[in-house]
Amino acid sequence: MKRLESKVCIVTGAAHGIGRAIAERFAAEGAWVLLVDVDQSSGEAAVSGIAAAGGLAQFVQTDVSATEQIERAVKVAKEQRRQIDVLVNNAAYFGDGNDALEATEDEWDRTYAVNLKGAALFTKAVLPSMLERKNGSIINIASIQGLVAGRLSVAYTSMKHGLIGLTRSTALDFGPHGIRANAICPGPIRTRISPPDGTPLHQRQVSKTMLARTGEPSEVAWAALFLASDESSYVTGAVMPVDGGWSAF
């Protein structure tokens, strides 16, 4: 039996990178997956790829900073499958990359709206369905910058720290109702926005890991699969680094 057989999962920021890898892995393990993202063409392409591989998925264009769009996406999932088992809050916005002196109010607002408020609103939207069944797994994709500081990224780092707080608070409040909440903190993962191999920034990333390499989106997806599955039924409030050892030294 596949590890997510018959489960209904929502993955935000699912058109690219880590989110797409998670959606593909969940579908391969038997889940029906709702992919949400602002990028419609890439989101639809991701769904087509899942379908071609024999999986079940649907795409809804969604800005996670907009409450009405979140509610629409959740409604689609419930109308299609009548339940929501797993939510992965992966959508993120990095911003311009500034320190506390240079970060603008707009940068703070947008980073908050996507990275933290969006996750909180999506969590709020799926909780009633999970409470009905007294079961559910919420997985927040934080960052290594939710555990340690990152240069020139004060807004992003602050919101990822906040996302870990949201995770732990949700786990505490809803654990008695059978709902689990956990966070994954990816380190340097190879995506479309990663620094090219051999550049100074790439070399710095490699030097900060124990494994002397950057990671792949699929390696984060495997961790998410464990937290989504019944194999992690006694795991909640956890913060799991997938960072090649970055946070350990």
User: How far is Cα 149 from Cα 28, in angstroms, rounded to an integer?
Assistant: 35
| CA distance to 10, 123, 162, 174, 193, per residue, from 130 (Å) | 13, 10, 23, 10, 34
Distance CA 141, CA 90 (A): 5
Residue with the two structure tokens 């019944």: 230
DSSP-H helix ranges across 53-153: 67-81, 105-111, 118-133
Q: Please say if 234 is a catalytic residue.
A: no
Amino acid at residue number 114 = V
Please provide the distance, in angstroms rounded to a whole number, between the alpha carbons at the two ends of the chain: 39
Write the DSSP symbol of residue 213.
S
Under the phi-then-psi rule, with left for phi > 0, alpha for psi from -120 to 50, and beta for the rest, what region is 32? beta
β partners of residue 57: 33
Instruction: Compute the radius of gyration of the chain from its Cα atoms.
Output: 17
Q: Which of 93, 112, 156, 234 is catalytic?
A: 156
- Hey, which residues are catalytic here? 156
